[in-house]
Amino acid sequence: MPDRPLLSRAAYDRAAHRRADETWLAAAWQRARVLAVSPKSATPAQIGPDGRVAVAFRDPAEVPATAPRRFLGLSDDVPYFAATVDRADDEDWLTLRELGPVIDDLSAGLLTSAIALEQWHQRHTHCPRCGAHTVQAEAGWTRRCPSDGTDHFPRTDPAVIMLIHDGADLTLLGRGQQWGQGRFSTLAGFVEPGESLEAAVAREVFEEVGIGVTDIRYVASQPWPFPASLMVGFIARLDGDPSIHLDTVEMAEAGWFTRAEVARAASWVDAGTEGGADVRLRAISPTLSISRFLVDSWLAREI
């Protein structure tokens, strides 16, 4: 398994001190590699020389002059930008969900930031104070209101996601109302204003399945720009009665599963198959999700 969640493999320097330096940015653009992104959160892809799927970076000259540009950072002194462009009919474009598991560390980090910025710009076009249309500033890392002069920054909404275990061989997984039969995941939920991450873990678990947890420990985090989440991963142990009292508004079902059952479902997901109707746990989350990172870490007894 990877040593960290797949979208947390940032391998470049954000060089944030350059974002307001228009002279430097203009020169950097001339020698940049550009990540084209579409409003549908996709990017051009190609088969690389090693036979693997790779992001197809563009030369600046291939990017329309009117396309919004965002400076992502530097790697080996090469500037990387994102630009919002429309997809040509003859190009292969893939989404971050499709590319995330297969592209290299540098591309994964750049694309995750590019998609997160793209989603934010699309959804935050107006000033939250006065309603005026805002404009991009700071190389894409700020939106500025020309009416009242306020600056607005990209949002990242924290959500907790937690592997709950019984201290022995069982973990608790749930199935959301929108998910297919047999498909389970770790529990998760957004952090509320004024709440700590640990308190959010305990609250979400109690709300969704009615059990208490203790020994809440941080494991890892992963950006999840669909559209603006930061998933903060925890492990926590059952405290008290393991009986499940389900919140049926959010959850279709939940249950305790053994390591063997979870490992079998993981192998089915990786093979692109699924257990039969006689099996309760047929699929867990794919490798791109931090849910799967938590599950795999628990199966390997690393957390």
Stretch touching Zn ion by CB under 5 A, among 89-97, 145-153, 219-227, 279-287: 145-153
Minimum gap (Å) between residue 148 Cβ and Zn ion: 4
What interhelical angle do 290-299 and 259-271 show, nearest 10? 130
Q: What count of other Cβ atoms lies within 10 Å of the Cβ of residue 17? A: 8
Stretch touching Zn ion by CB under 5 A, among 7-15, 121-129, 242-250, 282-290: 121-129
Q: What's the CA dihedral at 20, 26, 30, 33 to 10 degrees?
A: 20
Nearer to Zn ion, 123 or 245 (CB): 123
Residue 229 and residue 63: Cα distance in Å, rounded?
Answer: 29
Q: What count of other Cβ atoms lies within 10 Å of the Cβ of residue 163? A: 23
Stretch touching Zn ion by CB under 5 A, among 74-82, 127-135, 253-261, 286-294: 127-135
For position 143 contacting Zn ion by CB under 5 A, the verdict is no
Minimum gap (Å) between residue 125 Cβ and Zn ion: 12
For position 177 contacting Zn ion by CB under 5 A, the verdict is no
For position 27 contacting Zn ion by CB under 5 A, the verdict is no
For position 135 contacting Zn ion by CB under 5 A, the verdict is no
Tokens of 102: 């297969």
For position 151 contacting Zn ion by CB under 5 A, the verdict is no
Residue 95 and residue 87: Cα distance in Å, rounded?
Answer: 12
Stretch touching Zn ion by CB under 5 A, among 123-131, 203-211, 248-256, 292-300: 123-131
Minimum gap (Å) between residue 42 Cβ and Zn ion: 31
Strands 157-165 and 187-190: antiparallel
Minimum gap (Å) between residue 20 Cβ and Zn ion: 20
For position 145 contacting Zn ion by CB under 5 A, the verdict is yes
Stretch touching Zn ion by CB under 5 A, among 110-118, 126-134, 172-180, 222-230: 126-134
Stretch touching Zn ion by CB under 5 A, among 137-145, 202-210, 252-260, 279-287: 137-145
For position 1 contacting Zn ion by CB under 5 A, the verdict is no
For position 92 contacting Zn ion by CB under 5 A, the verdict is no
Query: Do 3 and 285 form a contact (C-beta atoms < 8 A)?
Result: no
The strand ranges marked E within 78-130 are 78-84, 93-95
Strand partners, 136: 143
For position 148 contacting Zn ion by CB under 5 A, the verdict is yes
Minimum gap (Å) between residue 141 Cβ and Zn ion: 18
Cα 23 to Cα 15, 18, 19, distances in angstroms: 15, 9, 10
For position 129 contacting Zn ion by CB under 5 A, the verdict is yes
Residues contacting residue 138 through CB under 8 Å, at least 6 positions apart: 19, 20
Minimum gap (Å) between residue 137 Cβ and Zn ion: 13
The alpha-helical segments, DSSP class H, found in 154-258 are: 197-209
Strand partners, 65: none
Choosing from 130, 135, 260, 300, the residue that interacts with Zn ion (CB under 5 A) is 130
Backbone torsions φ then ψ of 94, nearest 5 degrees: -130, 155
Backbone torsions φ then ψ of 241, nearest 5 degrees: -70, 125
Choosing from 55, 99, 127, 191, the residue that interacts with Zn ion (CB under 5 A) is 127
Which residues are at the interface with Zn ion (CB under 5 A)? Answer: 127, 129-130, 132, 145, 147-148
